[in-house]
Chains A and B, each alone.
Chain A
Amino acid sequence: MPTRQSGVPTNRSRIRRRFAGAGLLSVLGVTAVLLSACSSSSSSSPTTTTTPSVSLSSLEKWPTTAVSLQETGSSLLYPLFNLWEEQIHTDHSNVTITTASTGSGTGVSDASNGTVNIGASDAYLSPGQVAAAPGIENIPLAISGQEINYNVPGISATSHLKLDGSVLAQIYQGTITNWNDPKIAALNPGVTLPNLTIIPIHRSDSSGDTFLFSSFLSDSDPTGWTIAPGTTISWPNVAGEVTAQGNGGMVQACQKNPGCVAYIGISYQTEATGAGLGYAALQNKSGNYELPTQATFSDEAAGFTSSTPASGTISMIYGSATDGYPIVNFEYGIVLSKQSSSTTAQAIRAVLAWAIDPNGGNAPTFLDQVGFVALPTQIEAISSKLISKIS
């Protein structure tokens, strides 16, 4: 515990420095977010008055007695939740949240059976899970994405290799086994690729990142990748394949295995880059190669905003946005709408409402540190309705 708490500030300052360095990029990203937020709020304000919407301020009623909440799940959301937890505890010292990075599968199962108050997941609930745990909600908390990392000696971290779903599917099926394969070279004219065996790395725990990545493979190459997406999938057998636990484990495994390919959540970009891993420009549905940035994330998410149902359950993989990055998702808080005590319910409502508040947890000061994007106003309204059901 002490290591985590002492680790967060240094991590944060490191991230800050990094973003200060990449100033233009983040400023652009933030402006894009703010612009989209402004435009959508002005356009959607009439709808919020017509439909009975729930205001965030009505939900952000902090309990006055001491409450401690538990959160487990997604290692992708974990760094952000830590930042949130720290701020919440500073503002409301009677509310403590313990957080744990355990993988989305654990987040879903722990929240479903009531082991923890809040489960974090990159994957939305399946109909079976909803049926098995009546009253379970997946509440969008922020927009996140996933980068495809590689450790290829000779390719500098700043020159991003171009990859597409078909090539990645063949790598993870073992049909493309070397970095100098003509199919990779065809996507990267002018780049000298080494004669090096590719080591595909996948998660050993039940992971929302696996869900996102396998969704991308099956959406972008439906004929080449026939395995149904899931948090635990049956990976094809590939010689030399490596497994890792958690996003942190993926970074470490990829660092230790030159030639690796790994799918890693955007909140680990600083760690991954620090470990010498490069990340790829991925081909989207429009055929453009996009880097994982806040701007390309919000472009992608904007294409799905109007079609998001009231349950918040939607896949935002491989959308049709021209400049969108193809692996983008909502980070979900998985919460049972029936809680054991009204104080706990009140605390959960306040925490989640604050988390999605553009002046609270969804403010750029938090999201920029992990590369996430704030929820558009329409999604914020969907989330607040879901939060208001917690009692």
Chain B
Amino acid sequence: MTVGATVSKTDTDLPTAAPSQSGGGGGGPDPGAHDPSGGGPAGPGAGQEKWWRGERLGPQVLRVVTHLPLIVLVLIMAALIWKAIPAIRYNGFGFFGRSVWNFGNLYAPILHTHGVAHPPGALYGALPLILGTIGSSAIAMVLALPVGVGTALVVVEKLPPRLSYGIGFCLEILAGVPSVVIGLWGFLTLGPFLMHHVATLWANHVPDVPVLRFFRGPTGNGQGLLTSGVILAMMIVPIIAATTRDLLRQVPRGTVEGAVALGMTDAEAANTVTIPWVRSGVIGASMLGLGRALGETIAVAMVSGVLVGSPIRSLYSAFSTIAATIVSQLDGAFTDASGLAVATLAELALVLLVITLLANVGARLLVRRVATTALPVGRGI
């Protein structure tokens, strides 16, 4: 926080910071030797210490370092936009409304439209990919939020310390499982199990009416929206549960015990005291998880079926997310000699970046609103 404040105050100093850093670096020992506070007898060692701990240089280096994330973000954005320009010009706004993914005829002579080289028939639309990205993450959030918060509540409030420690340990292990491992397990085991034994319980009994129709239909072979949502939920649960657990431990025991002493049940005490106390933190943790779900690539590429260019028909049909599409189409895209396919993937990456940024900004606004309005303790009493 203090670092952030320093940065915003000294924002205008940034251009001068870089040259003075290099100058100071070059003449490091020199000013050290002349500095009376350096302590002459200490020799070069003291000069070295001055170089990085000194009053003038340390903050400037720090300033550049603190700006690095911003610089990197801007560079990434700039590079993506630069690469995506042909696709943005060729695809237009229709890119966000179409459900089609067509490289065009790569064997025919390359045409030029609006000054953009493209194979005849090339047409791209990102609608199903955007919906797939948001949809699979939404399923993951709906599943992970109650499970994660519930797990944390039980671990903190109900379980004996030793068991609670064991479960906490497992949560951390689960958070560290590489996504490719979860993806492989989802592809081989979880997906087929879900589609053949779980989804079949309701898939054919759901009424065939407009909204519910989405939950109806053949459950397929295990690759699809449902499997992806469940897999993503498994990756988010540890994030939400571990954060919530740490937050719950900071809820003053006296307040909770007071609520119970007033005659509240455990559930009422949790609802009126504990949960409001940790709410903004849980929202923050959930958004961290959402960010992970939106960008998760390889696990989704393994269990989604990577069906690009087709609308999402049901909860069980193959689909694709933006991230999975980029990773699965990149090699093929390089066979498009006009470069439009690669440019379109860059445009997709840009869309994903914007979605993730929006989710983050939204989370910050939500946390701020909740944090300022919710009374930390005794709400509703």
Contacts and interface: CB of A to CB of B under 8 A. Distances in A.
22 contacts: A105-B334, A109-B334, A110-B331, A128-B119, A129-B337, A204-B328, A205-B331, A228-B120, A230-B104, A230-B106, A231-B335, A232-B332, A232-B335, A234-B100, A235-B310, A237-B309, A237-B310, A240-B217, A242-B318, A243-B305, A245-B328, A257-B221
B123 A234 contact: yes
Instruction: Tell me what chain A mostly uses at the interface: helix, strand, loop, or mixed.
Output: loop
Contacts of B104: 228, 230
Interface string A224-253: 000011111111010111110100000001
Contacts of A204: 305-308, 328
Interface string B35-66: 00000000000000000000000000000000
Nearest to B108: A228
A197 interface: yes
B214 interface: no
B103 interface: yes
A206 B105 contact: no
Interface string B303-341: 001111111010001100000000011011111111000
Contacts, number: 110
B115 interface: no
Given A113-B334, A241-B310, A230 B317 contact: no
B332 A129 contact: no
Instruction: Tell me what chain B mostly uses at the interface: helix, strand, loop, or mixed.
Output: loop
Contacts of B220: 240, 242, 257
Nearest to B317: A240
Interface in B277-323: 305-311, 313, 317-318
A231 B331 CA distance: 11
Contacts of A132: 337
A105 B331 contact: yes
A126 B44 CA distance: 65
A26 interface: no
Interface in B98-137: 99-110, 119-121, 123
Given A239-B313, A241-B310, A256-B222, A234 B335 contact: no
Contacts of A241: 307, 310, 318
B329 A232 contact: yes
Interface of B: 99-110, 119-121, 123, 192, 217-218, 220-223, 305-311, 313, 317-318, 328-329, 331-338
B381 to A, nearest CB: 55
Nearest to A129: B337
Contact of A112 (B192, B328, B334): B334
Given A230-B107, A234-B100, A205 B335 contact: no
Nearest to B222: A256
B334 to A, nearest CB: 3
Given A234-B309, A242-B220, A206 B332 contact: yes
B328 A228 contact: no
CB-based closest 8 A-B pairs: A206-B332, A128-B337, A234-B102, A109-B334, A228-B105, A105-B332, A106-B331, A132-B337
Contact of B103 (A108, A131, A230): A230
A204 B310 CA distance: 12
Contacts of B222: 256
Nearest to A236: B310
A132 B334 CA distance: 10
B217 to A, nearest CB: 8
Contacts of A197: 218
A127 interface: yes
Contact of A235 (B106, B120, B218, B309): B309
Contacts of B336: 128
Given A105-B332, A129-B337, A233-B102, A228 B305 contact: no
B50 to A, nearest CB: 48
B329 A131 contact: no
A206 B331 CA distance: 7
Contacts of B100: 234
Contacts of A103: 331-332
B305 A233 contact: no
Contacts of B317: 240
Interface string A119-132: 00000001111011
A204 B337 CA distance: 20
